[in-house]
């Protein structure tokens, strides 16, 4: 139905790549330093978590042995032209080892989105505030819920009404096989669900940089 479907995305990605060639050497060094910095900051956050809590979570989620964290630095080349979607096209695809389901973080280590479509030279990254974005998250120490993106507010649903959730609690999640906590945002508002069984929570994202150009994909 769409014989030229990849053409426009490829065109925009190649423009972005051409722009990068001039500063490739220096940008590679910067990227390596940024990666190291990010890995260190993630390790720091990891150490800030209580050992006891980590042990409990590892047991609960049947975590396997920790893998070493690895990142792929990618540039945002273009966006989905619809104002109702929050999808970015990044200038790396299967050629750089990207796969569907991988998560992306910004240079501060906060969650940006998830890879949803991978082609040879580019991939589509669904941002956290896309209406179709969903991920299971922790709130504070041990409450669990489902974070759903949205154009107005980012919400967490299905939190047990008995769970201890407070304003400004940190919302975070763990990528399977990597035990580093990835921070998403803070609790902004707490509402009781109509049926009284669950809590609905509004989240304020940590990553609020609308002009984000570079992201790191967790391998």
Partner 1 sequence: MTEKNLKALSTLLIFFLLDATKPFAYSLATEFTFLGVVLVCLNYPLKVSLFLAAIFGYAKDLSCIDQTSFSLLEFSAIAILIHYFLRNFHRKAVKIMIFFGALIVHLTINNFYINKAGYLFSLLFLIHSSIIFLLINRLFTEWISNGIKNDNVI
Closer by beta carbon to partner 1, 4 or else 68: 4
Q: CA-CA distance, 65 to 58, in Å (whole number)?
A: 10
User: Taking the complex as a whole, how short is the minimal distance between the CB of residue 88 and partner 1, in angstroms?
Assistant: 9
Is 79 near partner 1 (CB under 8 A)? Answer: yes
Spatial CB neighbours of 175, under 8 Å, sequence gap ≥ 6:
103, 182, 218
* Contact assessment for residue 214 and residue 73, using Cβ atoms and an 8 Å cutoff: yes
User: Taking the complex as a whole, how short is the minimal distance between the CB of residue 171 and partner 1, in angstroms?
Assistant: 20
Is 81 near partner 1 (CB under 8 A)? Answer: yes
Catalogue the E-assigned strands of 36-133: 71-79, 87-90, 103-105, 111-118, 123-127
Is 212 near partner 1 (CB under 8 A)? Answer: yes
CB atoms within 10 A of CB 143: 21
Is 83 near partner 1 (CB under 8 A)? Answer: yes
Closer by beta carbon to partner 1, 96 or else 119: 119
Q: Extract the tokens encoding 109.
A: 């280590």
Is 108 near partner 1 (CB under 8 A)? Answer: no
Is 200 near partner 1 (CB under 8 A)? Answer: no
Is 18 near partner 1 (CB under 8 A)? Answer: no
Applying CB under 8 A, among 2, 18, 50, 51 the residue interacting with partner 1 is 2
Residue 67, classed as helix, strand or coil, is coil
The candidate with the shortest Cα–Cα distance to 181, out of 145, 138, 150, is 138
Size of interface with partner 1, in residues (CB under 8 A): 30
Using CB under 8 A, list all residues that contact partner 1: 1-2, 4-5, 7-9, 12, 78-87, 116-117, 124, 129, 131-132, 150-152, 210-212
């Amino acid at each position: 139905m769409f014989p030229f479907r990849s053409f426009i995305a490829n065109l925009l990605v190649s423009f972005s790549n051409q722009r990068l060639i001039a500063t490739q050497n220096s940008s590679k060094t910067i990227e390596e330093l940024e990666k190291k910095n990010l890995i260190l900051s993630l390790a720091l956050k990891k150490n800030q978590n209580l050992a006891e809590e980590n042990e409990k979570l590892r047991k609960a989620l049947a975590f396997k042995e920790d893998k070493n964290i690895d990142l792929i630095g990618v540039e945002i080349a273009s966006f989905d032209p619809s104002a109702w979607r929050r999808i970015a096209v990044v200038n790396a695809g299967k050629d750089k080892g990207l796969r569907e389901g991988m998560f992306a973080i910004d240079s501060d280590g906060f969650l940006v989105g998830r890879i949803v479509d991978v082609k040879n030279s580019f991939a589509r990254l669904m941002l956290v505030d896309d209406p179709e974005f969903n991920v299971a998250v922790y709130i504070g120490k041990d409450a669990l819920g489902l974070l759903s993106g949205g154009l107005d507010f980012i919400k967490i649903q299905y939190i047990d009404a008995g769970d201890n959730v407070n304003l400004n609690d940190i919302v975070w999640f763990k990528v399977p096989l990597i035990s580093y906590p990835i921070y998403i945002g803070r609790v902004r508002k707490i509402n009781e669900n109509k049926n009284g069984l669950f809590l609905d929570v509004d989240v304020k994202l940590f990553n609020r940089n609308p002009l984000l150009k570079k992201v790191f994909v967790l391998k």
